[in-house]
């Protein structure tokens, strides 16, 4: 599978590249082609030369991909959707994007008028492009450590069964990460808001590389 990591030179993009680089064809995108190529070379070195990675500009990465992961801060969401509209055709777009702010004391979820970043992305993309919301509560540092057992759940929201299946499979490719179907795209705001919540808990309690796992209290 060809996966474009749009804005993929940062921590979360590097994490996905490290985890998927030996199983899929990874295209790291950036506004700076040289930076994208340097990032791809660095990930390949982490993988000891075993992997299929390349770096290019965001538009070219999107156009060549089957799956597009938006590895950008919320403030860049409009640019990597409407700003690169001609590059999208029928790809699956995965959004881990979270609209949040830090007010000096704590992180706060601040959704757009559409209700969530995922719904906003869908409203700006061509009709043939499917959007899935996923990976919001996954720690970037943990992703970059290939030996790390994640012990976390990935909550996935979407309206297309095949798109959800692909996202579930990609989550399953990450060691010990459990994908959970969280419902339709309309509930993405609930999942996105878990990120600032998790960051606040981690800061207040000095928890490093925090994640979320759903447990069952049922007795055997």
Q: What is the pLDDT of residues 74-84, one digit of tens each?
A: 999 999 999 99
The number of distinct structural domains making up the chain is 1
Q: Which domain holds residue 192?
A: 2-205
Q: Is the pLDDT of residue 171 over 90?
A: yes
Residue 125 belongs to a domain: yes
What are 59's two structure tokens? 């538009």
pLDDT in tens, 12-65: 999 999 999 999 999 999 999 999 999 999 999 999 999 999 999 999 999 999
Residue 159 belongs to a domain: yes
pLDDT for 11: 95
Say which CATH number the domain at 96 has: 3.40.50.720
| CA distances from residue 179 to 36, 71, 129, 154, 155 in whole angstroms, order as listed | 28, 19, 22, 5, 6
Q: How many CA atoms lie within 13 A of 111 on its CB side?
A: 19
pLDDT for 220: 61
Residue 220 belongs to a domain: no
Residue 211 belongs to a domain: no
pTM for the predicted model, two decimal places: 0.95
Q: Is the pLDDT of residue 147 over 90?
A: no
pLDDT classification of 202: cutoffs 50, 70, 90: very high
């Amino acid at each position: 599978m060809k996966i474009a990591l749009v804005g993929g030179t940062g921590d979360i993009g590097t994490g996905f590249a490290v985890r998927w680089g030996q199983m899929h064809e990874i295209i790291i995108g950036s506004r700076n082609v040289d930076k994208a190529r340097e990032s791809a070379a660095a990930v390949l070195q982490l993988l000891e030369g075993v992997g299929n990675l390349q770096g290019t500009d965001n538009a070219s990465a999107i156009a060549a991909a089957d799956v597009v992961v938006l590895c950008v801060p919320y403030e860049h969401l409009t640019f990597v959707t409407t700003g690169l509209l001609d590059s999208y055709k029928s790809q699956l777009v995965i959004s881990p994007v979270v609209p949040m702010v830090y007010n000096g004391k704590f992180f706060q979820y601040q959704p757009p008028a559409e209700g969530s970043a995922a719904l906003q992305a869908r409203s700006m993309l061509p009709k043939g492009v499917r959007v899935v919301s996923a990976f919001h509560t996954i720690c970037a540092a943990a992703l970059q450590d290939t030996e790390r057992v994640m012990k976390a759940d990935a909550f996935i929201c979407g309206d297309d069964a095949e798109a959800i299946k692909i996202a579930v499979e990609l989550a399953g490719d990450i060691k010990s990460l459990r994908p959970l179907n969280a419902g339709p795209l309309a509930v993405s705001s609930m999942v996105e808001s878990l990120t600032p919540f998790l960051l606040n808990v981690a800061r207040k309690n000095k928890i490093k590389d925090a994640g979320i796992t759903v447990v069952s209290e049922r007795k055997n």
